[in-house]
Amino acid sequence: MTESERPRRRRSRSRRRRRARLRRALLAGLVVGSLLLLTGGWVGFRGWQARAHLLNAAGLARELSAQVVAGDIDRARRTLAALQEQSGAARSATDDPGWALGRHTPLAGDDLGAVRQIAVTVDDLARRAFPALLRVDLAKLVPAEGRLDVGQLRTVSAGLAEVNRTIQQNRRELAAVSDDGLVSQVRQALTDLRGEIDRLAAMTAAADQGSRLLPTLLGADGPRRYLLVSQNLAELRATGGMFGAYALIEAKDGRVQMGRQGSSASLGLFNPPLRVPKEVRALWADLPGMYPADVNLTPHFPTAAALYVDMFRRKTDTKVDGVLAVDPVVLSYLLKATGPVMVPGGVPLASDTVVRTLLNETYQRLEPEKQDSFFSAAAAAVFDAFFTKNVDPSVLLSVFDRAVTERRILFWSARPEEQRQFGDSRLAGALPEQDTVPTVGVFLNDGSGAKLGYYLRPAATLTVGECRPDGRRELRLRVTLQSTAPKTGLSESVLGLGMAGDPYTVRTLVSVFTPTGGAVLDARLDGTETPVGVGTERRRQVATASVDVRPGASRTLELTVLTGKKTSSGEAELWLTPTATPWTTQVDTAPSCDQ
């Protein structure tokens, strides 16, 4: 071999080795590509199966919920069996090696992981939570023959605790799934399931808590006394209405009796005023500590209840163990369960008329000195019907769930160890110092000194706005107040002090609470910049505007607020004062700041 041939041979061998490596790489690529295509096709097929099963499961879950509420347990058991079949199939469709491999791919991995968690959550609820829930005898949760069986209630408690643990665990696991970068269908399914499980978790937490606390609260371990107060929605306060009539409730071994009744006016004026939290005093001066009707100018119910209990003790030398607040709308819900009741004197109270009767017609029909006795008689009649009539337990529990969700039933315990167990639940009416979702509060206080709140028609729209460079987010709030009050013909009891000048004009102090740590940027009334009083309460900035609305007119208050810290979420929530006519509300969400 010549010297010139050797380099050519070396180059030839090098080219052959490179071609061999290229062929091996191409072959490996072809194999991997084929596997990925086959896996993708298989995952797509399994995904189509999972989607069909999950859609079927969603429909069956809605049927199951309706059947449980209706008390149709036999049908609910059959529906549960079908739900378990569909949820199990969805879980199986997302639990094979192809799906597991697909979860590690860069494009579809997050979506496949999210669908897998959705399937696991639905199946876990169908197999662990719902069967235990069906085993709970709802009749044990409502009174019979004037008494609640506290021993049976404690037996039911174990089953409710099991249900709640399962649901809370699934809620946490679902919340840990990131929705960043998910395709819209998967993101929406995740959002919808989170919303449903959040509502379910709130109910089971309340039921679990109630079954544990109710025996003690109802005197199983010794007699208890509570103040039952009616929030008069005709004269608005932040938690609903001013505390009008009260009744002393005595509980012993599950049996509850109504004792002395009276009105907040009978407790008189406190001067010097009671001690009020510094932030509340900065917003409302000494009013909450002076007048029993003003204790709930603050939306934080524990503050209002503690003040009222102290006032009651000072005037009557009677100690109580807590406060239960309700409003006439709650009575309308209860009357759906009990049926109409008759008040002494021949006045019927029915579900569709009781709000009008108590908040308007009584003030038009009766002299002021007779109004309190009528309110007391009405409360006693509904109370008696509730504890003595045979009421469908599923209907009654549905009523309570609705009333608690709307914050129309509030409870505060004077015993700190019990009160801590209620935490920031809706039943406690506590204004949280931390937000899980940015929350804006809109709380109404009457400024007319009248009973014109019955005629108010409120609406609120909250729109999630832009993501700022500092990570905070703008929220735009629009509150509209409309008055349906007539221009003439109302009694002096309705018109009251007429502090707006024209006695038929409704004056409302609208207090907007930002998310925790947030700020108010601007405020406009009917498009014109308006002055607002500014303060803070429980780590939230508060802006208060005075809004006068003439009969038949409406006014619109608009504010821009900031969240208190960096948040990528496009979600937001409203917390509103319960009113005689429910609010018209809308929350416009936005994409995550990370998208």
**Sheet with 533-537, edge to edge strand ranges:** 533-537, 540-549, 506-513, 439-446, 573-576
For residue 306, what are the contacts with CB-CB under 8 A and spacing of at least 6?
A: 412, 414
Rounded-to-integer distance, Cα 256 and Cα 144, Å: 11
pLDDT of residue 4: 52
On the question of pLDDT at 493 being above 70, the answer is yes
In this predicted structure, what is the pLDDT of residue 372?
A: 79
Q: What is the mean pLDDT of residues 451-460?
A: 98
Summarised one tens digit per residue, pLDDT across range 85-129 is 877 887 777 776 655 655 656 555 676 677 777 777 778 878 888
Query: What percent of the chain is modeled with pLDDT above 70?
Result: 84
Question: Worst-scoring range by mean pLDDT, 24-38, 66-80, 397-411?
Answer: 24-38
What's the CA gap between 260 and 247, in Å, rounded?
6
- The sign of the CA dihedral 259, 265, 267, 273 is positive
At 306, which amino acid appears? A
> What are residue 463's phi and psi, to 5 degrees?
-120, 125
Tokens of residue 310, six digits: 């102290």
Whether the predicted pLDDT of 456 surpasses 80: yes
Q: Are 140 and 155 contacting, i.e. CB atoms less than 8 angstroms apart?
A: yes
Cα–Cα distance between 591 and 589 in angstroms, integer? Answer: 7
Provide the phi-psi class of 142: left if phi over 0, else alpha when psi is between -120 and 50, else beta: beta
Q: Which two tokens stand for residue 55?
A: 């859609």
Q: Quick check: do 224-420 and 432-588 share a fold?
A: no
Which residues 6+ apart lie within 8 Å of 517 measured at CB?
539, 540, 563, 564, 565
Question: CA 313 to CA 474: how far, in whole Å?
Answer: 45
Helix 5-70 to helix 393-405 angle, to the nearest 10 degrees?
120
Helix extents (H) in 471-570: 492-495
Q: What architecture is the 432-588 domain classified under in CATH?
A: Sandwich (2.60)
Confidence of residue 576 (pLDDT cuts 50, 70, 90): very high
Mean model confidence pLDDT for the chain: 84
Cα angle for residues 208, 212, 214 (degrees, 5° grid):
110
What is the band of 24 on the pLDDT scale with cuts at 50, 70, 90?
very low
Given the candidates 1.20.120, 3.40.630, 3.30.70, 1.10.3470, the CATH classification of the domain at 224-420 is 3.40.630
In one letter, which amino acid is 565?
K
Exposed, middle or buried, 310 (CB in 10 Å: 0-12/13-18/19+)? Answer: middle
Burial class of residue 448, CB neighbours in 10 A (0-12, 13-18, 19+): buried
- CA 379 to CA 569: how far, in whole Å? 45
Is it the case that residue 502 has pLDDT exceeding 90? yes
Q: Which residues of 230-260 are buried (b: 16+ CB within 10 A; e: fewer)?
A: bbbbbbbbbbbbbbbbbbbbbbebbbbebee
pLDDT digits (tens, 9 = 90+) for 408-423: 999 999 999 999 988 8
Q: How confident is the model at residue 584 (pLDDT cuts 50, 70, 90)?
A: very high
Instruction: Tell me the Cα Rg of the chain.
Output: 30
Domain coordinates in residue numbering, the chain: 30-217, 224-420, 432-588
In this prediction, residue 181 carries a pLDDT of: 66
